[in-house]
Amino acid sequence: MGKSKFSLAILALLLLSPNTTGEVQITANGESNILFVDSGQTITFNAKGIENSTSVLWDFGRNINGPDTRYSNLSLIEHTVHASGRYNVTLTASYENEENIVKKIIIIVSFEETFEEEIVHSEALFFSIAATEVIMSLGLGYWTSLIRKEKVYL
């Protein structure tokens, strides 16, 4: 009976102890797979479960917020993104047993230009175009009548 209690205690410790290879999680603004943001928005990248790692490296795929911002070795980092497009973000956590855990997340940054359309008074434009067409029609009609009188055809 003593052996089974000892075995159960060891089994419980193994099941409840943190596993360094399976608990690494990354999030961006709380999302874990894909995040859609607007240009100019701040994104908080967070890595959890990396307490036992020897090093951490974020790779944002390109400079995310100005020069020299592609890589970071912090577990919690904030960036304000301005360039639209897709960012394939990768976190690599290294451990003493030379095991690397790689986690990925996709960030989609959209850019919507604010454009104020100037109102054009279409009535004036319409009458201007209509008058031009009338003048051109009269001119073409006049030239056509002259050609018919002279019976000169090209």
**Mean of the per-residue pLDDT values of the chain:** 80
Alpha carbon 34 to chain centroid, angstroms? 9
- The separation between the first and the last C-alpha atoms of the chain, rounded to the nearest angstrom, is 118
**pLDDT tens digits, one per residue of 67-126:** 888 889 888 999 998 888 899 999 999 988 878 899 999 999 997 767 677 766 666 666
The residue ranges of every structural domain in the chain are: 18-110
Task: Give the least confident one: 20-34, 35-49, 59-73.
Answer: 20-34
Whether the full predicted model's pTM is greater than 0.85, yes or no, is: no
Q: How far apart are CA 83 and CA 6, in angstroms?
A: 58
**pLDDT tens digits, one per residue of 95-110:** 888 788 999 999 999 9
**Token pair of 75, please?**
């577990």
Cβ-based neighbour number of residue 63 at 10 Å: 13
Instruction: Confirm if 89 and 102 have CB atoms less than 8 A apart.
Output: no
17: pLDDT strictly greater than 70: no
Instruction: Show the CA angle centred on residue 2, arms to residues 17 and 16, nearest 5°.
Output: 10
DSSP string across 64-124: SSSTT-SEE--SEEEEE--S-EEEEEEEEEE-TTS-EEEEEEEEEEE-----PPPPP-HHH
CATH 2.60.40.10, applies to 18-110: yes
Task: Give the least confident one: 3-12, 41-50, 80-89, 139-148.
Answer: 3-12
Q: How far apart are CA 149 and CA 153, in angstroms?
A: 11
